[in-house]
Structure 1
Amino acid sequence: MEGKNQTVLLNDNVTIPCKVPGSTPLNIKGMGVIWYRKHQADETEHKVFEMYGNHQKAFRPGASVSPAGLEKGDASLHLSGVQLRDAGEYRCEVVVTPEKAQGTVVLKVLAFAKCTLFREQATAKDDGDKYILCKASGFYPKDINITWHIWTQENPQGQKISEGITNGPAIKNEDGTFNKTSHLRLEHNVVTCQCVIRHISLPTSCKSNFFPSRIGSEMGNTWGTTDTCITVGFIGAGILMGLIVCWIRITSAPDMEEILTESEIKLDGVRQKILQVAQELFREEMH
């Protein structure tokens, strides 16, 4: 296990491997296991878990080594609810008298970037221009890339642009994750604009589309993996059916504002479901 890297998403559980050499079953009463963690910014080691004889102690809440697994030569460390502070180099030290062995694993913690286009920002400001805001939130590590693409009547093939864009700094949240925003000034001839977010936590680029000709409309995030696109396609069909039902209700019901509010709430729930699907597919790819 020497020098291996392992990646886990924020708040997930993780098992860091450590195999005990020699024949099994082992007499765990006559052996010891100690796990240490060394943070990237701190060269000193800190105990995470120790076990010898009938003694077990977790220095990090939720840390454990399975006694049943240890009898079979598996001294892997289990951590529940991983946080950003859990990242670092882990060292497993196993003593089976008179033998001693050790190994290291570097654990990297990622926070999944959430991508959003804010339609309420696509309104006229004092200068008469119109803007759209793209936001990446809750991501870690800090490095992230946000770009814009537009499609115009003169260029229906689309192009990446660099003008009319204002990128904000990465703002650190209380939990250690980051948020970042990017504003795009809309030109009158833009048919479609697309915000593209790239981050190490994303299995592929996160893309959000906006249609200036339909101010007030918003399309959810899309991911490029085949499985996700299929899933999002089914969910998108559900959104379409929901909109049809809402349209029928609006044409026949007197309280349109109430119906529109209800529709927005349902659409927000669908968007959250799409995000959950993408996260689950990413976890499957890591495993």
Structure 2
Amino acid sequence: MKFFIWLWIFLPFSDLMEVKTNTPETTSMLGKDVLLDCHFINAGSVKLEDIAVKWTVDRRSQVKTIYLFDGKTEQYHKDRITLDLMLIKEGNASIHLQDVTLEDEGDYKCTILITPDVGSSTVLLKVAAQPSVALAPVNPHLSHGETKTFFCEASQFYPQDIEIIWLLKSHGEEVPLTTKICTGLPSLIDNGTFNVSSQISMIFTEEDAGSVYICEVNHESLPRPLRRNTTILFAIPEMIPRDTGFIVGVVSVILITLVVFLGVGIMYQKQFAKAPPLSDVILPDFVPANEAMNVICNINGFRPPHQHSVVPSKPKS
């Protein structure tokens, strides 16, 4: 068998065996595992040692053998590539490629040799990385006439082609935005993936309160567009009636007038108001007959300050 293997490696054979794949083109996410399908028709009486399997990959027009089974041993076998030998006799020569990297992308060819027949099929492997999308700022509180810029960042995606669109949702309707948008070109980063940023700047008024700005990213790695939203919020000031200032002024004048009048009244009572000069007359409890009677009359708190004389009363006969 090894003689035919060496002939197979160095000499061309005509395609006499039917070898096919159910997935001529497949896409794997970066870092995931993928099955590269290869099936052939086995008569059933052929022994395992009579079957040879070879897998090659064509990357940028450079062909490299990545797996070879010569009927007894595996060659070019790497940790990330596995093939179940027990399935070969059943006509299954599929390989598992683990932890897919961007360098794994290419055209994979499965060739089966059962002397003297040979056949092959090809699987195109594409590698993709889904973007992570971030939008900032989220739900900002704005003031009337304020200009705000929103940034939408799509990072670590592959391949390079990507689409970023902006939409405005207002009153239940979504409208694509086409102005005041700046989207950069994707930039390559160290791990071979890409980043890109898009921004939009708008001037906002209270009429924009509740509006939703949407950043939508379309990429072949996504089963559906990926969206990020931000809602426009406004701090609502306390409603003050237009005539409040007039009312406050009138009330203030009234209060000040009352205070002034009260102060003037107190000062007038203390300084200028007239008060009766005499208090109640105090008589003695007992007065003997034919004797003079002392009568007490206190004079205080009188205004104006004129002196009054009191003539003693004559004794009653």
**TM-score, normalised on structure 2?**
0.60
Between the aligned partners of 2:121 and 2:147, the Cα distance in structure 1 is 59
- Match for residue 48 of structure 2 among 28, 31, 34: 28
Between the aligned partners of 2:172 and 2:222, the Cα distance in structure 1 is 28
Name 2:124's counterpart in structure 1: 106
Q: Note if contact 1:122-1:131 (Cα within 8 Å) is conserved in structure 2.
A: no
Change (3 A) 1:133 1:120: same
1:87 and 2:105 correspond: yes
Name 2:269's counterpart in structure 1: none
Q: Percent sequence identity over matched residues?
A: 25
1:188 and 2:204 correspond: yes
1:135 and 2:153 correspond: yes
Change (3 A) 1:207 1:92: same
1:161 and 2:161 correspond: no
The SS at the match of 1:29 is: helix
RMSD: 2.4
Between the aligned partners of 1:214 and 1:78, the Cα distance in structure 2 is 56
**Superposition pairs for residues 107-256 of structure 1, below 5 Å?**
107-119=125-137, 129-152=147-170, 157-189=173-205, 190=208, 191-213=211-233
The amino acid across from 1:182 in the alignment is S
Between the aligned partners of 2:203 and 2:65, the Cα distance in structure 1 is 58
Structure 2: runs of 5 or more not aligned: 1-19, 236-317
Name which of structure 1's ranges 7-16 and 51-60 shifts more when overlaid on structure 2.
51-60
Q: Once the two structures are superposed, what CA deviation does each residue of 1:83-137 show, in whole Å capped at 9, x if it has no partner? A: 111111110111111211111111111111222112279799xxx7311111111
1:13 and 2:29 correspond: no
Between the aligned partners of 2:45 and 2:128, the Cα distance in structure 1 is 36
Q: Note if contact 2:141-2:234 (Cα within 8 Å) is conserved in structure 1.
A: no
**TM-score, normalised on structure 1?**
0.66
Between the aligned partners of 1:183 and 1:121, the Cα distance in structure 2 is 16
The amino acid across from 2:115 in the alignment is T
- Match for residue 76 of structure 1 among 87, 90, 94: 94
Change (3 A) 1:162 1:140: same
Aligned residues: 208
Shift of 1:172: 1.0
The SS at the match of 1:70 is: helix
Change (3 A) 1:72 1:26: farther
Q: Note if contact 1:25-1:72 (Cα within 8 Å) is conserved in structure 2.
A: no
- Match for residue 63 of structure 2 among 45, 49, 62: 45
Between the aligned partners of 2:219 and 2:63, the Cα distance in structure 1 is 30
Change (3 A) 1:174 1:61: farther
Between the aligned partners of 2:56 and 2:161, the Cα distance in structure 1 is 28
The amino acid across from 1:87 in the alignment is E
Structure 1 stretches of 4+ with a deviation exceeding 6 A read 120-124
The SS at the match of 1:187 is: strand
Change (3 A) 1:186 1:95: same
Whichever of the two has the greater Rg, that structure is 2
Q: Note if contact 1:26-1:70 (Cα within 8 Å) is conserved in structure 2.
A: no
Between the aligned partners of 1:114 and 1:177, the Cα distance in structure 2 is 11
1:4 and 2:20 correspond: no
Between the aligned partners of 1:106 and 1:156, the Cα distance in structure 2 is 44
Between the aligned partners of 1:60 and 1:195, the Cα distance in structure 2 is 43
Structure 1: runs of 5 or more not aligned: 216-287
Between the aligned partners of 1:137 and 1:71, the Cα distance in structure 2 is 45
Between the aligned partners of 1:122 and 1:27, the Cα distance in structure 2 is 71
